[in-house]
Chains A and B, each alone.
Chain A
Amino acid sequence: MSARRPLPRWADIALLPAINLAMAFLVSGLVVLMVGENPLHAIQVILYGAFGYGEGLGYTLYYATNFIFTGLAVAVAAHAGLFNIGGDGQAYVAGLGAVVVALALDQTHWLLAMPLAVIAAGAVGGFWAFIPGWLQAKRGSHVVITTIMFNFIAAALMVYMVNRVLKPATTMAPESATIAVGGRVPQLRQFFSFFGYSPVNLSIVIAILALIGVYILVWHTKFGYAMRVLGANPTASRYAGISNSKMIMITMTISGALAGMVAINEVMGVQNRLVLDYVAGAGFVGIAVALMGRNHPIGIMLAALLFGALYQGGQELQFVIPGITREMIVVIQALVILFTGAMEGLFRPSLERAFMLFSPEQKTEAIAVSTAKSES
């Protein structure tokens, strides 16, 4: 038993993640070394590929857009003490809302189609998360179990919907009809040629608005306050007259709606049609993003950028260094998730001890403790 002091806030949200990340890269470097490549060269390639030129940066931002949405979805639920691991499924079914609106309005203008599609995708994604929320609030089925099961239901449902309902009779591929220009979200490259052929699009503006919106929701509204009370102490929230069951259902709906925004980016911004499995695991990366970003919008933005860079830089790495295969990239990404997510607290105790020794006002105390121990 020892009364360690908690870390200063800046160390908790910046230094600790940085150390974790450094460790992940260190171990990744060893792996690269083992396959006989130069780790420093690999890092250089990743950094250049992710940030070094317009098109690379565009890809990084495109991936980051998805991760911001799924990261926020996990974070909002986490503030209410709910672990929504169904972001993948929610983002996937939300594609139905997006594609229906986009196809219906693709002869009009994106200024009309995009806001309506946002609402439709949010509604469908929200509904997909509301059901697990309702099941937990009213029937006591834990959302961790139900949301992950809903991922599988979503996958089956989408295969059916794409093949039997959305696929035009004239195509062979399992995909919906192509959305005409009026129903597409404009690419940033239309405004800034700097971004080359990268698919980054105006969805990133929605992502930025979502970051700001979640910040306001969680810390500046009565609803956000109630949500945090529920997350921190469900007995106290009942004492405070907060309806836990309503809060769970509403929070899950908001969380699902945020995950559903992935559909805007993918369906209307990149693919221009509904294809199978377009979410590609972004929902699960969102868990790591939220964890690393400490459920705070700024942290989520930075973590999403990091993972976006890893995705894009990783692709680049395969091209430039043939010795590093696609599987190697997955290993590196997994190491980052492992160190920043699963083993996030690994260095906390030693960092706390270090802070006790090096911070001036705590140094005397720390010395007194160690002398008292050595006396006995």
Chain B
Amino acid sequence: MNTQRPGTAAASAPASGWAIELEKINKRFGAVHANKDIDLKVARGTIHGIVGENGAGKSTLMSILYGFYTADSGTIRVNGAPHAITDSRHALALGIGMVHQHFMLVDNFSVLENIILGVEDSGFIKPSLDRARKELDRLEAEYDLEVDPDAIIEDISVGQQQRVEILKALYRGAETLILDEPTGVLTPKEADDLFRVLETLRAQGKTVILITHKLREIMAITDTVSVMRQGEMVATLKTAETSPEQLAELMVGRRVLLRVDKTAANPGQTLLEVQNLVVNDDMGVTRVKGVSFSIRAGEIVGIAGVSGNGQSELLEAISGMRDQKAGQVLLKGTALSLEGDDGAARARAAGLAHVPEDRQRMGLVTSFSEWENAILGYQNSPQYGSGPFLDIGAAKKAAAEHIKLFDVRPANINLKTSLFSGGNQQKIVLAREMERDPDVLVIGQPTRGVDIGAIEFIHNEIIKMRDEGKAILLVSVELDEIRALADRILVMFDGSIVGEADPATATEGELGLMMAGIGKKEAAE
């Protein structure tokens, strides 16, 4: 591969010195070369971003630095001295702390108890707690990180929980903080708050390594950015001297269109109508509280919201996977009967296709071959065999067509589906649902865990369907995606639709406030 290294920045030692230096790090998992000769230098007192697609090796590299994995070869230097980091305790002792994507907190403990967990002074808790409380006061004041030390974790917001994780690392004496995809679970407002905290940390001389796939965040907060692709470090750049387009190109290895080109919507008759829908989750908790909206032909309606505000249950109820407690779903004016555990079959028969949020758990049977998944949900269609028999030839033919139309790689219909990459798995699901020519397409998280190159393709396919006069319901936690694709945005908070916005005029700030449940409460429709 021809590796381009445009302006390998920050090669000479900075005045503050290097906090972390990685040299020729190699790591293999069986046949997979996850890290190839990685060099990385992080200057003390800076925010250093690492970007790359899924599977580029970012997490592996950070796990090596934090002592989860041992590198096959290479050197790690912390503050100039070489160390063989054997476990995370060792990393902590060297002043390296990590804030994981999924928080490592005990939900029914208080903030203070979580902070001393594992670093208690003695067998008795009380002295540790007292000492920790003083120390915490100091840290909170110094870094402007306000958290009530006596609050129980499960009662505080996700943003607050993240602060606890940061405080935990600082309490353990971290000088260098690694944050793995920290904004995935935050509202835009909470993300902004986090960035302010990171800036304070930098001002106090701490070093931050930020792993993310959101280029916007890289541009907003980092000083230096490193790009990884397929296990290699392809470039390290000064953030001020680069652009999102350049970073995207480095990540994918070819030019990528970040913006979606689309014409104005030309909506026709109402195709999908949802009236006062109430849905419970598996625990019997009401998650969708009387939602109403409608979608017309040739229109994409996006539902924005922080994950866990009822969007999943809404999608599952509309597509017939989950029983609805009240309300109804009308397709072309006819109410869909979605009761029973085969409701999804009737929804499909009526012309409603569903690309689920979680393709591996719902949309695919990953232990099946590609062709077997190409007919999932449509297995009873006469196209795939008459009577009780399955026409395997017809199914394979359809699968081959899907693969060709959606450029699924590798183009092998007999390959086990779990062996395809996330983006290609998503294409398999999209091809199956789109090629049946449904009237209404319901899509959840169309590009979660999908590479940038495939995102572009998927977005274009969704726009194409809209232009063919289909009604599309799009649910995504990626606000950028909703804003790029939707013709109308509905914001969902705590099971209700709290507002509607026009993507052309709404600012991120307005949407962010609505997503947090604050602000104008317009009735949708």
List A contacts of B392 (CB < 8 A). Answer: 220
Fill in one digit per residue for B382-399: 1 if any A CB lies within 8 Å of its CB, else 0.
Answer: 001100111010000000
List B contacts of A3 (CB < 8 A). Answer: 29-32
The contact of A1 among B29, B320, B362, by CB within 8 Å, is B29
Q: How far is the CB of B343 from chain A (nearest CB, A)?
A: 7
Q: How far is the CB of B392 from chain A (nearest CB, A)?
A: 7
Answer whether residue A223 sits at the interface, using C-beta atoms and an 8 A cutoff: yes
List A contacts of B368 (CB < 8 A). Answer: 228-229, 232
Q: Which residue of B lies closest to A2 (CB)?
A: B30
List B contacts of A376 (CB < 8 A). Answer: 70-73
Q: How far is the CA of A139 from the CA of B72 in the complex (A)?
A: 53
Q: How far is the CA of A8 from the CA of B334 in the complex (A)?
A: 51
Q: Is the CB of B344 within 8 A of A240?
A: yes
Answer whether residue A369 sits at the interface, using C-beta atoms and an 8 A cutoff: yes
Given A226-B379, A241-B348: A236 touches B343 (CB 8 Å cut-off): no
Q: Which residue of B lies closest to A4 (CB)?
A: B30
Fill in one digit per residue for A341-376: 1 if any B CB lies within 8 Å of its CB, else 0.
Answer: 000000000000000000000100100110011011
Q: How far is the CB of B450 from chain A (nearest CB, A)?
A: 19
Q: Is the CB of A373 within 8 A of B72?
A: yes
Q: Is the CB of B363 within 8 A of A372?
A: no
Q: How far is the CB of A2 from chain B (nearest CB, A)?
A: 5
- SS of B interface (majority): loop
Q: Is the CB of A242 within 8 A of B390?
A: no
The contact of A222 among B28, B31, B379, by CB within 8 Å, is B379
Q: Is the CB of A239 within 8 A of B389?
A: no
Q: Which residue of A lies closest to B322 (CB)?
A: A238
Q: How far is the CA of A232 from the CA of B361 in the complex (A)?
A: 10
The contact of B364 among A1, A236, A362, A373, by CB within 8 Å, is A236
Q: How far is the CB of B34 from chain A (nearest CB, A)?
A: 10
Answer whether residue A44 sits at the interface, using C-beta atoms and an 8 A cutoff: no
Q: Is the CB of A232 within 8 A of B367?
A: yes
Q: Is the CB of B30 within 8 A of A241?
A: no
The contact of A224 among B70, B72, B73, B390, by CB within 8 Å, is B390
The contact of A239 among B70, B354, B388, by CB within 8 Å, is B354
B131-149 residues at the A interface, CB under 8 angstroms: none
Answer whether residue B67 sits at the interface, using C-beta atoms and an 8 A cutoff: no
List A contacts of B366 (CB < 8 A). Answer: 233
Q: Is the CB of A225 within 8 A of B377?
A: no
Q: How far is the CB of A284 from chain B (nearest CB, A)?
A: 27
Q: Is the CB of B390 within 8 A of A225?
A: yes
Given A369-B28, A376-B73: A241 touches B388 (CB 8 Å cut-off): no
Q: How far is the CA of A365 from the CA of B372 in the complex (A)?
A: 31
Given A239-B344, A241-B377, A243-B341: A232 touches B365 (CB 8 Å cut-off): yes
Q: Which residue of B lies closest to A246 (CB)?
A: B342
Q: Is the CB of B29 within 8 A of A235?
A: no
Q: Is the CB of B343 within 8 A of A241?
A: yes
List B contacts of A224 (CB < 8 A). Answer: 390
B330-346 residues at the A interface, CB under 8 angstroms: 340-346
Across chains A and B, the number of contacting residue pairs, with CB separation under 8 Å, is 107
Q: Which residue of A lies closest to B346 (CB)?
A: A241
Answer whether residue B239 sits at the interface, using C-beta atoms and an 8 A cutoff: no
Q: Is the CB of A242 within 8 A of B361?
A: no
Fill in one digit per residue for B309-326: 1 if any A CB lies within 8 Å of its CB, else 0.
Answer: 000000000011100000
Q: Is the CB of A239 within 8 A of B321?
A: yes
Answer whether residue A5 sits at the interface, using C-beta atoms and an 8 A cutoff: yes
Q: Is the CB of A375 within 8 A of B73?
A: yes
Q: How far is the CA of A318 from the CA of B21 in the complex (A)?
A: 74
Answer whether residue A244 sits at the interface, using C-beta atoms and an 8 A cutoff: yes
The contact of A238 among B321, B346, B375, B379, by CB within 8 Å, is B321
Q: Which residue of B lies closest to A374 (CB)?
A: B72
Answer whether residue B26 sits at the interface, using C-beta atoms and an 8 A cutoff: yes
Q: How far is the CA of A224 from the CA of B372 in the complex (A)?
A: 12
Q: How far is the CA of A223 from the CA of B72 in the complex (A)?
A: 49
Q: Is the CB of B30 within 8 A of A222?
A: no
List B contacts of A223 (CB < 8 A). Answer: 388
Q: How far is the CA of A362 from the CA of B377 in the complex (A)?
A: 37
Answer whether residue B151 sits at the interface, using C-beta atoms and an 8 A cutoff: no
List B contacts of A222 (CB < 8 A). Answer: 379-380, 384-385, 388-390
List A contacts of B380 (CB < 8 A). Answer: 222
Q: Is the CB of B365 within 8 A of A221?
A: no
Q: How far is the CA of A245 from the CA of B321 in the complex (A)?
A: 14
Answer whether residue B423 sits at the interface, using C-beta atoms and an 8 A cutoff: no
List A contacts of B379 (CB < 8 A). Answer: 222, 225-226, 229, 240
Answer whether residue B347 sits at the interface, using C-beta atoms and an 8 A cutoff: yes
Q: Is the CB of B72 within 8 A of A239?
A: no
The contact of A242 among B30, B342, B367, by CB within 8 Å, is B342
List B contacts of A372 (CB < 8 A). Answer: 26, 28, 72-73
Q: Which residue of B lies closest to A217 (CB)?
A: B388
Answer whether residue B376 sits at the interface, using C-beta atoms and an 8 A cutoff: yes
Q: Which residue of B lies closest to A237 (CB)?
A: B365
Q: How far is the CA of A177 from the CA of B344 in the complex (A)?
A: 53
Most chain B beta carbons < 10 A, residue from A225, A232, A362, A376: A225
Q: How far is the CB of A329 from chain B (nearest CB, A)?
A: 38
Q: Is the CB of A236 within 8 A of B344?
A: no
In the complex, 30 of the A-B residue pairs with CB atoms within 8 angstroms, ordered by the A residue number, are A2-B29, A2-B30, A3-B30, A220-B390, A221-B388, A222-B380, A222-B389, A222-B390, A223-B388, A225-B372, A229-B365, A229-B368, A229-B379, A232-B368, A233-B365, A236-B365, A239-B354, A239-B363, A240-B344, A240-B376, A241-B344, A243-B340, A246-B342, A369-B28, A372-B28, A373-B72, A375-B73, A376-B71, A376-B72, A376-B73
B interface residue numbers (CB < 8 A to A): 26, 28-32, 69-73, 319-321, 340-348, 354, 356, 361-368, 372, 375-377, 379-380, 384-385, 388-390, 392
Other CB < 8 Å A-B pairs besides A1-B29, A232-B367, 7 of them?
A220-B392, A222-B388, A229-B365, A236-B362, A236-B364, A239-B377, A362-B31
Closest 5 pairs (CB-CB, A-B): A241-B345, A3-B30, A241-B344, A243-B342, A240-B377
